[in-house]
Structure 1
Amino acid sequence: MGIPVVTVGRTREDLVGGLERLHGPVSVVRRCAELAELLAACQTGLARAAVVADGSAELTASLVDRLSAVGVAVVALTDSPDEAARLRGIGVTVAAPAVEADALAALIAGAVEGLSTPGPGAAGSAYADHTAALRRSDGGRSGRQDRPHDGEQDRPRDPARDGTPGAGRIIAVWGPAGAPGRTLVAANIAGELAAEGKSVLLVDADSYGASVAAVLGLLDEAAGLAQACRLADQGLLDEAALLRIAAPVATRAGSFWVLTGITRADRWTELRPAALSLVYQRAREVAEVTVIDTGFCLEADEELSFDSMAPRRNAATLRSLELADTVYAIGAADPVGVPRLVRALAELESAVPQALPRVVLNKVRASAVGRLPERQLRDAWSRYGPSTPLEAFLPADPAACDAALLAGSLLLECAPDSALRRAIASLVCAPVQRNRKSSVLSSTAKRRATD
């Protein structure tokens, strides 16, 4: 099977001619003057590989992801070690400008073959990770993991114990429209894990109404997640850069980092899925647990655009759910919130089938459900709800929530003895929470940050 190739830049005549003289599967079908022309040619289905001889500095993770989505592998020629490292980080195959034709042909064939092999979690994914930039901490298995036994807590794996680099876990907190309490739960999960001694990064990936900064009382002059995505798109986001961008939050029990979200909804295009994947890869490397506050909408919205490669409004939410090790689905425990959650779970199963959500009903109160609200909700769920079981109930406590919001703090500081705080802690922490102070960084991340 032939491999048609398009090139851009002043590719040496002997190199292009050498590919033709090989009479192998690789053949140059078009030479482009600039990267925009190459992109247009690739989107027509003209080629399966692109060789960038000049202008590799313009390659970004989003552009490589866009080419990968139409089945085009990218090979760049550069003799700069720094540029080569950057390009490899965004999924580009790199060769020296003086590479021989047969070696270049082999690289092109290998890049095309690698692109044709689906990556982990790609099946049934709305936004497959074409750059293969991120791998799950479970070694690449799909998200359909066995649930813990009854009574076993969902404990994040400690990379310091298992010795696996970049083995930090990702927890996504998601729920339907209607303010079921996603941000409240996500922020307090991060605080509880930090109080338990974990190094934690909290990410606000809600592209509709980011509010983590407001909940925690942070001065959000620049969206940290957008900054991280820009650097990741350029292949310049390393662990030290991520830690410089993230805002530290200190509590009496422990500390954690926060990547604040975009507070203006019209900036959603800054959260591209390819760049977001790279941000989460770095997050796994610097934190034992990354907690993501996601948006509510799962619509893939292909029907809303004639350009199938245009940015997607809900890509940040879908990519976060695809790459999470654990997904908590939060619903409001009332006659409006429960039906919304049931419908949303069906949408989640269709959009991200590997998610396996752990369903949590929030704002549980007798005034909205009746006497013995937990029993009422379990009975109704068993009769009318989906097969996914209810995992936990979070009691309504408006006084504690208002006090925390007014103080720009967490429940563990404003209402440490509240039933709501204890219920959130029981979701992710050990039965008896340790009171030792946590560090903002794991020991490994500390060493890297000071190197």
Structure 2
Amino acid sequence: MNIPVVTVGDSREDLVGRLERLHGPVSVVRRCHELAELLAACQSGLARAAVVAEGSEELTASLVDRLAAVGVAVLALTDNPEEKSRLRGIGVAAEVTGVDAEALAGRIEGAVAQLAGPGLRPGRSDVTGSASPGGAVAGPAGRTAGDGAAESADGQILAVWGPAGAPGRTLLAANMAAELAAEGKSVLLVDADSYGASVASMLGLLDEAAGLAQACRLADQGLLDAEALLRIATPVTTRAGTFHVLTGITRADRWTELRAAALTLVLARARQVAEFTVIDTGFCLESDEELSFDTMAPRRNAATLTSLELADTVFAVGAADSIGVPRLVRGLAELAAAVPPASPRVVLNKVRSSAVGRSPERQLREAWDRFGPAVPVSAFLPADPASSDAALLSGSLLLEAAPDSPLRKAIAALVCAPVQQNSRSSVFSSTAKRLLKG
């Protein structure tokens, strides 16, 4: 099997020439002068592997994912131990600059074999343009996402999704995080809505700095460690506990900063530092089919799709009225098509007799059993506008603004009881626990 290779940077005869003289499986087909030229050559289908002899510091997770999307494995040459560690963090195989040609050819062959294996890359785009399905996501070179992070990254990811129409995604996600923190758990709340991020506004955070975009930028560069993630996250302290928040993008046109490969690495790091990561996702599940021909193009809904694919539990929330319920039913069908592994827990929000009739929960359950999908309704959250408005007005959460409200109690029962039953023992660094719990 012949493996065509392109190189960039120092194309010295003692490297390229010796590879050619091996007469082995590796053949250098082009010597590029910069990464842009290498990217163009790889996108044209010229190569299956790229050797970066100089300029490895320009490699990012998104660039590596772009190359992996067209079937190109990346190997970099560097003598800097810190750079080697960074490269491994973004899925790049690294060797010293003076590596023997035969050993280098073996590493190239191994990287190509790993890329062609069963593992999927973070944010890999298939023909529909969505990120790769499944909860176990592998890195661009077959590496499990988050390698280089702690081996004990056992935190759970809870994603809150719902169709268009303001069903209460942000309200549910923020209050779930608060209730988990009140139970003594270390919690990270992530605003991954690429259309209308609103967690910061709901919590009254005035200094909104797009924390998730910052984390993705560092992750893309291979520089996001546990301490960096905790520095970026904003602490929110309630009377019952403290949790941290990665605020969303400040403008909708910044959605390109939330790329799937970088977000995958952020969530892998979040599993390390927090027992529970709660994600407020966007509503849209479209896979940008008009861009499917271009595997390099960013995807507007990559943040939502990636969050749902990596979540351990998905909460699908819809408004309990004649408009919200049909939207949720259609949305669940779209969710099943876009993220087949997802097994959502359905939550009907804003339950009130004025919109449904007498005994609203009974009527909603009967209608759902008759017309809805096979997924049962897990919880009914009562409409409680007075408590919600009080919390929103004060920039606080229900457990502070209305601790005895029916809505607050329903959310606590939804998230805390299953958490206590399914809680897994995990080993977190003492620094992370101390910082996340305040």
State the TM-score, normalized to the length of structure 1: 0.88
The residue type equivalent to 2:366 in the other structure is D
**Hey, what does 1:144 align to over in structure 2?**
none
The whole-number CA distance in structure 1 between the counterparts of 2:430 and 2:400 is 25
The residue type equivalent to 2:353 in the other structure is A
The whole-number CA distance in structure 2 between the counterparts of 1:381 and 1:55 is 58
1:419 aligns with 2:409: no
**Hey, what does 1:151 align to over in structure 2?**
none
**Hey, what does 1:212 align to over in structure 2?**
199
CA drift of 1:164 comes to: 6.0
The whole-number CA distance in structure 1 between the counterparts of 2:11 and 2:327 is 57
**Hey, what does 1:81 align to over in structure 2?**
81
**Hey, what does 1:52 align to over in structure 2?**
52
SS at match of 2:264: helix
SS at match of 2:173: helix
Task: Label 1:324 to 1:420 Cα distance change in 2 as closer, same or farther (>3 A).
Answer: same
CA drift of 1:355 comes to: 1.1
The whole-number CA distance in structure 2 between the counterparts of 1:21 and 1:447 is 57
CA drift of 1:263 comes to: 2.3
The residue type equivalent to 2:66 in the other structure is R
The whole-number CA distance in structure 2 between the counterparts of 1:3 and 1:31 is 15
> Which of 312, 315, 323 is equivalent to 2:302?
315
What is the CA deviation profile of residues 42-75 of structure 1, one whole-angstrom value per residue up to 9, with x for unaligned ones? 0011111000001111100000010011110000
The whole-number CA distance in structure 1 between the counterparts of 2:64 and 2:144 is 14
Task: Label 1:447 to 1:333 Cα distance change in 2 as closer, same or farther (>3 A).
Answer: closer
**Hey, what does 1:92 align to over in structure 2?**
92
SS at match of 1:430: helix
1:42 aligns with 2:29: no
> Which of 308, 313, 318 is equivalent to 1:326?
313
SS at match of 1:382: helix
**Hey, what does 1:289 align to over in structure 2?**
276
Task: Label 1:336 to 1:448 Cα distance change in 2 as closer, same or farther (>3 A).
Answer: closer
- Note if contact 1:124-1:353 (Cα within 8 Å) is conserved in structure 2: no
1:373 aligns with 2:360: yes
**Hey, what does 2:131 align to over in structure 1?**
127
Task: Label 1:135 to 1:9 Cα distance change in 2 as closer, same or farther (>3 A).
Answer: closer
Residues 42-441 of structure 1 mapped to structure 2, 5 A cutoff = 42-119=42-119, 126-128=130-132, 130-131=139-140, 165-304=152-291, 307-430=294-417
Gaps of 5+ in 2: 421-427
CA RMSD of aligned residues (A): 2.2
State the TM-score, normalized to the length of structure 2: 0.91
Task: Label 1:166 to 1:207 Cα distance change in 2 as closer, same or farther (>3 A).
Answer: same
Task: Label 1:51 to 1:167 Cα distance change in 2 as closer, same or farther (>3 A).
Answer: same
- Note if contact 1:395-1:419 (Cα within 8 Å) is conserved in structure 2: yes
| Stretch deviating more after TM superposition (221-230 or 10-19) | 10-19
The whole-number CA distance in structure 1 between the counterparts of 2:326 and 2:221 is 43
What is the CA deviation profile of residues 347-385 of structure 1, one whole-angstrom value per residue up to 9, with x for unaligned ones? 111111011111111001111111111111111111111
| Stretch deviating more after TM superposition (240-249 or 220-229) | 220-229
The residue type equivalent to 1:33 in the other structure is H
CA drift of 1:443 comes to: 3.3
CA drift of 1:77 comes to: 0.2
Task: Label 1:134 to 1:292 Cα distance change in 2 as closer, same or farther (>3 A).
Answer: farther
The whole-number CA distance in structure 2 between the counterparts of 1:197 and 1:447 is 12
What is the CA deviation profile of residues 98-142 of structure 1, one whole-angstrom value per residue up to 9, with x for unaligned ones? 0011100110011111111232698997212553665599xxxxx
The whole-number CA distance in structure 1 between the counterparts of 2:252 and 2:17 is 50
State the aligned residue count: 417
The whole-number CA distance in structure 2 between the counterparts of 1:349 and 1:66 is 26
What is the CA deviation profile of residues 14-48 of structure 1, one whole-angstrom value per residue up to 9, with x for unaligned ones? 22111112111111111111100000000011111
The whole-number CA distance in structure 2 between the counterparts of 1:223 and 1:326 is 25
CA drift of 1:302 comes to: 2.5
The residue type equivalent to 2:161 in the other structure is W
Q: Between the two proteins, what is the percent identity of the paired residues?
A: 76
- Note if contact 1:198-1:442 (Cα within 8 Å) is conserved in structure 2: no
**Hey, what does 1:159 align to over in structure 2?**
none
What is the CA deviation profile of residues 213-239 of structure 1, one whole-angstrom value per residue up to 9, with x for unaligned ones? 000000133100011111111111111
- Runs of 4 or more, structure 1, over 2 Å off, are 118-126, 128-137, 304-308, 430-433, 441-444, 446-449
The residue type equivalent to 1:389 in the other structure is P
Gaps of 5+ in 1: 138-162, 434-440
**Hey, what does 2:423 align to over in structure 1?**
none
- Note if contact 1:229-1:271 (Cα within 8 Å) is conserved in structure 2: yes
What is the CA deviation profile of residues 144-202 of structure 1, one whole-angstrom value per residue up to 9, with x for unaligned ones? xxxxxxxxxxxxxxxxxxx9611101000000000000000000000000000000000
- Note if contact 1:217-1:407 (Cα within 8 Å) is conserved in structure 2: yes
